[in-house]
Structure 1
Amino acid sequence: MARPLDHRKRAELLAGVVAYIAAHGLAELSLRPLAAALGTSSRMLIYYFETKEKLLVQALTTQRPDLAAVFADITEPAQLRARLTGFFDLNSGGAGADSVRVLLQVLGAACAPDSPYQDYANAAIATFITELAAALRRTRLAEDPEVVATLLVSALRGIIQDRVITGDTARTGRAAQTLIDAVLPAR
């Protein structure tokens, strides 16, 4: 008879996974070193999560911001510009930096044929575009909100990736602000 899952332990494991992958990378991720760093065994990780890929997806899911809440109260163009700038700053060097570093690796891995990360990546991108497009509709800033949201999400993700790789916060910060100002001009 299988013993019941210890949900507290499971949550602790998930909390440590993102920081570990941010520090060590996804490409060479192996369960044994990950388990050792988390103070458990690879067998226990499989018991809790079934596969390495499911473990990673579940860890990222716990880190995903509530994008509906991020954009829900926006009704004015200036609010949207400020919220996007704040979101960029937070997720490119603030508290969310580890999650973003791992997310960028997962998005890259999702490009491979039959990647186990494709569903997660599709959902992450679709959620961001849907919520940003809804805010664009409310502010009446775009004739085609989905296209403008796609442009912003994709370009900001590229600028964040640039910042993660180069560490150049000044240039990438100016680039993000230039993008936001160009795509969402003040009225």
Structure 2
Amino acid sequence: MARPLDHAKRAELLHGVVEYIAANGLAELSLRPLAAAIGTSSRMLIYYFDTKEELLVQALATQRPDIAALFADIADASALRECLTDFFESSLSGDGATSVRVLLQVLGAACAPGSPYARYAHDAIATFVAELSAALRRVDISDDTEAVATLLISGLRGVIQDRLITGDVARTARAAQRLIEQSIH
């Protein structure tokens, strides 16, 4: 009889996987070094998650912010600008930075034909566009809200990536602020 899954251990493994990807990258991820780094075996990772791809998709799912909650209380353009500015800054520090580093790697990997991350990346972007579009409609942005949401999401993602690569806080903060202000007026 198979032993039941230890859900606390599973959650601990997922957290370790995210930390490992943030520190070591996704491109050449191998189960043995990953397992050793998080204190388990590759056999146990397969036991808990079946495949490396499923392990990574589940680890990523633990990092997805609640985008609906992020924009739920937005009632005016000023609050939306402030919310996006706060989201930008929180994406670059603490747990937010870990999640963003991992997400940026997944988005890059999702571009490859047949990528196992394509569905996850598509869903993450679609959710963000839908929720931000709804917030834009609530604050009476008369432009094409999907296009404005896409511009904001893609633009901020690029500015975040720029900051993570260059470390230029002042320039990237100005760029993010300008993008937000010009998109939500």
Q: TM-score, normalised by structure 2?
A: 0.97
The AA in structure 2 aligned to 1:179 is L
- Corresponding letter in the other structure for 1:90: S
CA–CA distance in structure 2, aligned partners of residues 51 and 71 of structure 1:
34
* Cα displacement (A) at 1:51: 1.3
Deviation at 1:95, TM superposition (A): 2.9
Aligned equivalents of 2:64, 2:142: Cα separation in 1: 26
In structure 2, the residue matched to 1:41 is 41
Corresponding position of 1:93 = 93
Query: Unaligned regions of 5+ residues in structure 1, if any?
Result: none
Which deviations, in whole Å up to 9, do the C-alpha atoms of 1:114-157 show, x marking residues without a partner?
00000000000000000000000000023211111011001111
The answer to whether the Cα contact below 8 Å between 1:142 and 1:148 also exists between their aligned partners in 2 is no
Q: Report the counterpart of residue 105 of structure 2 in structure 1.
A: 105
Alpha-carbon displacement from aligned partner over 1:64-102 (angstroms, at most 9, x marks no partner): 110000001101100000000000000123431011001
Structure 2 segments unaligned to the other structure (5+ residues): none
Q: Partner of 1:64 in structure 2?
A: 64
Distance 1:47 1:142, change over 3 A: farther
1:61 partner letter: A
Q: Would you say 1:144 and 2:156 are equivalent positions?
A: no
The amino acid of 1:29's aligned partner reads L
Q: Does 1:27 align with 2:3?
A: no
Tell me what 1:161 maps to: 161
Q: TM-score, normalised by structure 1?
A: 0.96
Aligned length: 185
Quote the sequence identity (%). 72
CA separation in 2, counterparts of 1:149 and 1:128? 8
Structure 2 distance, partners of 1:96, 1:16, is 15
Following TM superposition, where does structure 1 have runs of at least 4 consecutive aligned residues deviating by more than 2 angstroms?
92-95
Name the structure 1 match of 2:184. Answer: 184
